[in-house]
Structure formats: structure tokens, C-alpha cells
Structure 1
Amino acid sequence: MKRFISIMFFMCMLVSLQAQEIYTVKNIPKVHLQDKTRYVCNPAGILSAPACDEMDRMLYALEQQTGIETVVAAVPSIGSEDCFDFAHRLLNEWGVGKKEKNNGLVILLVTDQRCIQFYTGYGLEGDLPDAICKRIQTRDMIPYLKDGNWDAGMTAGIRAVCARLDGSMENDTEEEEDLSATGIFLLCFGIIGIGLFTVILAMRAATKCPNCGQHKLQRSGSKLVSRRNGVRTEDVTYTCRNCGHKVVRRQQSYDENYRGG
């Protein structure tokens, strides 16, 4: 009886370990390399067969239309590995995407980490930037994935990705607003930055001594030349604190005491 209990305990432990198998880039099945019409790697059966078939059909149509190659991997665990690094190595290991275009995409679901990760090749970053990936995850996938509805979440995400990449997605008002706000911010930031840079250059040029090259010129005196129509003209003397060289510059400024006439 004790032997039977020991055997049953061992079998339960074995089943538990199998259920929590940790997948690596080396042991995960390379389904797309074995069958070019299959894009979903689902070794632990997290996704249903109908969901995998639907995603395979969408991704096959996407590749036929655009040449973009996508691989989806859904696994229960990758141990302590980082999802981003795993997806990056998966793209390289499987050679996802056309080599000359580097237009591959890996979408990774790891259920024990509650992680959904997009990783794009360099050639796809313009069509599917990080902001769009994040929006697809947040808007189309996470509402289902947080409830454990893997089929609905992954299918909705793949559908949104395909619509984005094949051009069938309608204009995204939220995206346009974000881009407009970002553009305005960058424009204002650029104008302010250029203005500050110009002022700094002018200040440095004004303090540079033509004799010794040091930025040591300091105003030491001035002589009024004229005062006309509210404009004050002066010859301002600057003396270098390093070599004593003097520079006279004619400058004009607004006369605060001018009242017209």
C-alpha cells in the first residue's frame, strides 16, 4: 500500500512538472519552420484549435498581401527569463521576417507572468511603432487576457495587428490626437531650444576677447553718442580681465526716458 501511495505521489508530481514545463528558445516547437502556413506555436494547448486556425488564416493572408511574417507563441512559462529578451531571441532564432527587409514580428504570451510582448524587426518599426503596439495590447487584448480568456484576447490582438499592417484599419482618432499633441509639443520644445542655444552662443561671442581668446570681456564704461526718437546710441567699452585688452562696441538700446516729440 505504501509503495502504491509513493508511486501515485510520484506520478502526481510528474504531471504537475509537465503542466508547468518551462520553455526556452531551444525547446519551443518551431511550427512555422515546419509548416509555412502555420504561424501559432501553442505547445501547451493554452489556445484552442479554432483560435489557432483563425489566427493562422489571418497571418497567412497578411504575409501574402504585405510580405510581413509574424509568429505567435503562447506558453505557460519561460522561467525567470524576461519576455522582451525571449521574444527578441525567438525572432533571431527562427529567422522571422524577410532577411533583406527585416520585417518580422513576434507576439509572445506567457501566462504565468501575465505577459503579452510584441517584438518587431527594424524594418517594421515605422509601420508598427511601440505606441501602436501598446495601444493594441491595452485596448484589444488585455480586457480579455486579464480574465484568462486567451483565445479572445489573442485573436482580437492579431486582428488589430493585421488591420494596422494591411492598411484596412480605419483612421484612429485617438492616434491622430496623440500625434498632433506630440507634434505641437516637439515644435514648441524645438523653438525654445533653438532660442536658448542662439542666446547662449551670442553671450559667449560677446564675452570673447579678440586678443587672448578668453571669455573674459567685461563692460567697463560707456559714452553717449546720440539720443533720437527713443533710441539711445552708445560706445560701450569692454575690458578683458585676463589680458587687459579694450574693445569698443557701438550699441543701441531703447531709451526708457523717451516720451515722444
Structure 2
Amino acid sequence: MKTWALVLLLPALLGGVPVIDRPVVDERGLLSSSDTEAVASELVRLRDETGAQMAVLLIGTTGGEPIEDYAMRAAEAWKGGRAGQDDGLLFVLAVDDRRARLEVGYGMEEYLPDDAVRRILDAQGPLLRQDDYRGAVLGVIQGVHERLPSAEGVPALSASKPLSPAQVNNIMLGQIGMGIVGGILLGCCVGLWRERLGSWRLAGCIGALLLVPPAITVLLVNSGRIPTFHFPLAYVVFAAMFFVVTLGAQYQSLRVAFVLGLSATAGCLVSLSDYHSTNVLKMLFDAGKSFSLLAVGLLFVTYPPVFRILIEILFFFLNSSSTYSSSSSSSWGSSSSSGGSSSSGSSSGSSWGGGGGSFGGGGASSSW
């Protein structure tokens, strides 16, 4: 019974470890904001070029606990790197204890054996004795970077290379095209062609239109940063839009359907024409706003009775976009580096949560 009590109380006796949710966690404020940004940028570059996810944890003391045990507990709580790849790295610097530790995930031990890690850490001793913490941390990152192969040389790691904004725009343009074709065909299947196709053919056509384009998109999209399901979601939104337009053309007013279809197409193209971002959901909201504004203007001129209905649609999109923008201010890509807010382009504020990687005790420690 006493043994179980000690096991349950062990975390409390040892003390907690800081939550690692960004590239640099500076508990002691050893780095200035510019230094933190510089270190975070190097960590992001390390992940982009090698696939390895590394975090830096700067603390005062481990409270008497060996830094090896402390670093292992922090790494296991963080779970840096990806599950199955175990390509996480955690650098812990305890300045009051004058101790440093680089914890290495299972997948990195081939490139970073213990003796190599120790040499990297020992080389930072002169900088640490001069309190040049920025230089020492950057030196460790550079030493790690030099020993890891590039992502091109490691096929398993290349999947983490993110998509550029231009690539995202091109994919979104493809989703618009597929959505227009898919929505129109789907509207014809359940409308004009329903009796001609029959039940089984109708079900097969609808299934193909709903499943094949998203499946192809999932296979083609290769990004470690953008959720893949956002792109199929874009296709579904565009297809649903033109499905409604097609049904409106068949059963309601051809003029209204034409105006809505033209507004939808133009709104999407306007939103994406000069959009330099990888935020697919924000693109969808902006496309919806542009579509609403164009539809209101055109229908107000061509069909005034619809004006009141479209105003309600416009308010819906505007409110949804505002809600999304406010909620995303604390989400991935705009986290704060020290509890506050930072810009979406800041590396130091980027979410750095682990992906389920494992650490097996590999690594080395150093004193200065």
C-alpha cells in the first residue's frame, strides 16, 4: 500500500514540468523577444529542412532532481516529433544549476549518438560562461542540424515539408473547378437525369461525385502543417454551392441561379487572386463574404424581392467570419511566446505541440 502511495505521489514530489507548446519556452526570461524569435526561426528551419522537431526549454533549476530525469519527464510530457518516427529533440538549460541536457528521440539516435551530443553541448561552455544564452542555444541547434540528413534524403521525413501559400492557392483553385463541375453534375443527377439514370446508377453517380474528388485530393496533398481534410471540405462547400444553383436553375428562376452562380465563381476567384496565406478555412470565409456582396449587388439590380433574404445571408457570413477570427487569435500560428498575443508570422509564437514521438533516454548532459 505504501509503495502505491509513493508511486501516486511521485509527480507531486518531483514537481511539474513546464508545458511545451511553442518552440522556445523561456521560464526565466533569459532571452529577449528578438533572441526568442531568432531561436524559434532556426527551430522551424530545422524542422523544414530535416523533419526533426526540436524544442528549447530554459529554466532556473530542476530543484535538485538530476537534469537527465527532469529532461526525460519534460520530453515524455511533450511527446515531440511524430508517432512512429520519434524524431523529437528537447534541449533543456538549467542556468542556476549550470547544467544542460539534449534529450534525443528514438528515431534520431542514429544521427545523434551520446558522444556526439556531448561534444555539441561541451562546445557551448565558453558562451554559457559569458551568459551568451542566445549564442549557446543557436550553437546547439546548428550542431544538431549539421548531423541530420536533409528531408530529401529521408523519404519518411519529407512528408513534414509544408505547402507554400502559392501551392495552397493553386490547390484551392482546383477545388473551385472540381466543385463547380461536381455541383452541377450532382444537381443534374437528382434533377433532370434522375428518371433516366435509375436508382442504382443515380446512387453510383452521387457516390462518385461525393467521394472521388476528395479522395484524390487527400492522396495528392502532402503537408505537415495544413490539415488535409480542409481541402476536401473546400470541395464540399463549392460543390454544395453549385448544387443549389443548379437546382435553382431547374426549378426556380434561371436568372437568379445565373446571378448566384456568377457571384459564387467571381467571389471565390477574387478572394484567392491575391491571397498569400495557407489558412484554408479563412479563405473559405473570405470567399463567402465576397460571394455575398456580389450576389446582393447583382440581385438588388436584377431582382429586388430577393434583397431582404440575401441581406440575412450576408450577415450570417460576416458574423461567422468574425467568430472564426476571434477564436483563431489563440490557435495554431498565433500563440503568444509569453502568455500574450503575437502575429501569425511569428515563429516564436507558433504552436509546437508534440505529435506523439517517444524518447528512450538517448542524449547527453553537460556542465559549464
TM-score in terms of structure 1 length: 0.49
Q: Quick one: higher RCO (CA 8 Å, sep 6+), 1 or 2? A: 2
Higher helix share: 2
